[in-house]
Structure formats: structure tokens, C-alpha cells
Structure 1
Amino acid sequence: MRIRWIPALVSVVVGVGLLFGGWYTYDQFAVKGPLEKAINKLPDVVDSTSSFDNGAAKVSLTLDEGANLRSVYDQLTNDGASVLKGRELKLDVSGAVSSDELDKLWSTVLFDVAQAMETKTYSQIPAALDKLAAENAGLTVNTEMDDTNVYVTLHKGEAVKYIILPRTPATMEVWNNASKL
């Protein structure tokens, strides 16, 4: 029995083309398309990019100056629920105008916020941020919380910094095995 190389090669190319073409079509129309529609319906979104990696949907948003971070997150999780089912939403949010000054101000209060997150005394977060706002003229702070995240918005002049802090702290796997040594 002799193999016919041209029909075999054509069959492989057509099969691979159908397989990857079907996967690409599914990815574009059933996954990325609905997520992009949900993102485009969000208020105050200036720019966005999204990708899917290892069971997580990564969305980067640039928001307008007066955007409410919690409502944007809620609307994205509700409108994109059909696409996000079983996937973790990793949202990276930045303002249309960022500032090194806001980054420095955030870093000065980061220890207090981290301690409040670790001890789950979330009421200390607005207190620490209000103290920061009182010490820095022109800085306004907005904090909100829901079941999954704490949302912080720092605003000074034209610059805005958005921070999303997950309420479920990440656990370190190393500590689970430390007692076995």
C-alpha cells in the first residue's frame, strides 16, 4: 500500500484550518465579543483592552475623571456574567491623567491600609485616607466597599488614581507546608 502524499497533506491542512478557524471564531464571537460589548456599555470608559489567560479575564480600563469605580465594576460583572462564568475577573483601572504625586501619597498610607485589610478592620481604611486628605490640600478621597472588594479613588487636580483591593486575602502556600519541616 502506497501513501498518496498530496491528498494526505491537503487533508491535514484542511483539518488544521477548520480546527483553528473554529476555535478563533468561537473565541471572537462567543467570548471576546460579548465582553467587549459589556465594556463598551460602561459609563466613563475612555479606553479598554481585554485578554483571557488561564481561566481569568484580564481587563484594563482607563476611566474618565468623575467615574465611580464601584458602579463600573458592578456593571462589568453583571453585564459580562455570561462570559465570565467560572473565570476570575482581574480588573486593572487607571485614570485618564495619572500622577506620580498620587502614587507617592498612596504609598505613604499603604501600611495602614494593608494592616486594615489583613486584620479585616475595613473601617480603618476611610479613616486613614481621610487623615491623608486632611494633610494634603486639594486631595479628595472616596472609599466604597462591597462583598468582594474595597474601592479607593484618590483625586487631586486633574489626576486620578483608582485602587481595587480584594477583600479575600491571598494565602501563601509555603506556610501550609512549614510545619512539616
Structure 2
Amino acid sequence: MSRVRLVPIVLIAILALAMLFGGWQAYQHFNLLNPLKKNLQSVQGVQTVNIATGSPDEVTIHLGPFNKLENGDLQQTYHAIANEVSTRLGSGVKLNLSDDHGAQLTQVYEGDYYPILAQGKDKGNYTDMISQVSSLAKKQGIQARITMDEQYIYVQLAKGSHYLYDVIPYSTHQGGAAS
């Protein structure tokens, strides 16, 4: 009868797992994340890209001012970014946009514009929502652009050297009983 030595078997198993894990990390870094980062940085308007793997994966994109975006439009730029991310990483990736909004523009957005946008979205009054935001922005000397597609409302605000972007999903009501 032969005796099986436990210590060498455990060491070999640990070494094999370490090599597999290291190989997976190298593959992910060189064949998945680096090409994605390079492709995202080539999208017009993208200044920096940060990719954090995890559960879920998270991609943070810092965008430049309006004139740097694809045709000056957040919606087109967002679609280019989202398509690239979903092609490389699949669905379920958290996509964050960052901008140079400044405290004053953030305060005006949260206090004046977001309530109009939320009410318009909830009531389905999209044309009124857009005209109210445009009118208010004109009075406040803010450049505003609101666009929409079947999934999101895209908000672009700029004043001076500061600019703010927001992508607001439409509410999706998931069935259920009401009493």
C-alpha cells in the first residue's frame, strides 16, 4: 500500500489555483478591460475611463463639455458608450457618468429642474416638461438640452465653465396587486 502525502497535494492544489486565478486576471486585464478602456476613450467627449470589476462591474466615464460630445449631444455619446460596454462586458454593468457640474449648477438642477423632470416623467407630459425646463433655463442664463429615447431622458445643462449631465431612466412599473 502506498501512502498519499497530504501536504504536497494541498500545495500543488494551491499552486494550480493561484496560476488559474492569475491567468484569468491577466486575460481579463489585457484582452477585456484594456481594449474596452481604449475603445471608450476614443468615443467623442470621453475624457477619462475607470473600470472596476466586481459584482456588478462598474464603468465610470468623465465627459467633457457639450462641444466635445458627439454632435454636442449626450444621447448619442451615451449610446456609443453603452454599446461599447455591453459588447465587451454584457448586460448588468453599472454605467456612471461624471462631469464638471460645480456646486451652483448642481443646486439649481436639484432645486429647480429635477422636480420639473420628475413630474413630467410621472405624468407623461414630456413636451411640457421640456418647454418648462427650456424656459426656466433661458431665464437663468443656463444652456439646456433635453432629449429622450425609449429608455432614458438625457439632461444637459451648462453655465460658464461648468456643465452637468444626467441620464434618467423611465420608471418601469413591475406588475403586482394594488389594494
Calculate the TM-score normalised by the size of structure 2. Answer: 0.81
Aligned to 1:76: 81
- Separation in structure 1 between the aligned mates of residue 54 and residue 8 of structure 2, nearest angstrom: 37
1:104 aligns with 2:107: yes
Conserved in 2, the CA contact under 8 Å of 1:113 and 1:128? no
Long gaps (5+) in structure 2: none
Identify which range, 146-155 or 35-44, moves more after superposition.
Answer: 35-44
Task: Give the letter aligned to residue 23 of structure 2.
Answer: G
Aligned to 2:3: 2
Deviations 1:28-75 (A, max 9, x none): 244323321321211122222122443x44221111112231121111
Matches for 1:33-44 after TM superposition, within 5 Å: 33-44=34-45
- Separation in structure 1 between the aligned mates of residue 53 and residue 136 of structure 2, nearest angstrom: 37
- Separation in structure 2 between the aligned mates of residue 84 and residue 149 of structure 1, nearest angstrom: 21
Calculate the TM-score normalised by the size of structure 1. Answer: 0.80
Conserved in 1, the CA contact under 8 Å of 2:137 and 2:143? yes
Q: Name the structure where strand makes up a greater proportion of residues.
A: 1
Displacement of 1:176: 4.0
- Separation in structure 2 between the aligned mates of residue 113 and residue 60 of structure 1, nearest angstrom: 24
Conserved in 2, the CA contact under 8 Å of 1:34 and 1:80? no
Aligned to 1:166: 169
1:134 aligns with 2:138: yes
- Separation in structure 2 between the aligned mates of residue 147 and residue 53 of structure 1, nearest angstrom: 29
Displacement of 1:143: 1.1
Percent identity reads: 24
DSSP-derived class of the 2:126 partner: coil
Conserved in 1, the CA contact under 8 Å of 2:41 and 2:48? no
CA RMSD of superposed structures (Å): 2.4
Task: Give the letter aligned to residue 71 of structure 1.
Answer: Q
Task: Give the letter aligned to residue 82 of structure 1.
Answer: T
1:117 aligns with 2:118: no
- Separation in structure 2 between the aligned mates of residue 25 and residue 150 of structure 1, nearest angstrom: 38
Q: Taking structure 1 as reference, are residues 2 and 89 closer, same or farther at Cα in structure 2, changes over 3 Å only?
A: closer
- Separation in structure 2 between the aligned mates of residue 100 and residue 57 of structure 1, nearest angstrom: 29
Task: Give the letter aligned to residue 166 of structure 1.
Answer: P
- Separation in structure 2 between the aligned mates of residue 38 and residue 121 of structure 1, nearest angstrom: 37
Aligned to 1:88: 92
- Separation in structure 2 between the aligned mates of residue 57 and residue 73 of structure 1, nearest angstrom: 17
Q: Taking structure 1 as reference, are residues 5 and 83 closer, same or farther at Cα in structure 2, changes over 3 Å only?
A: same
Long gaps (5+) in structure 1: none
- Separation in structure 2 between the aligned mates of residue 7 and residue 39 of structure 1, nearest angstrom: 46
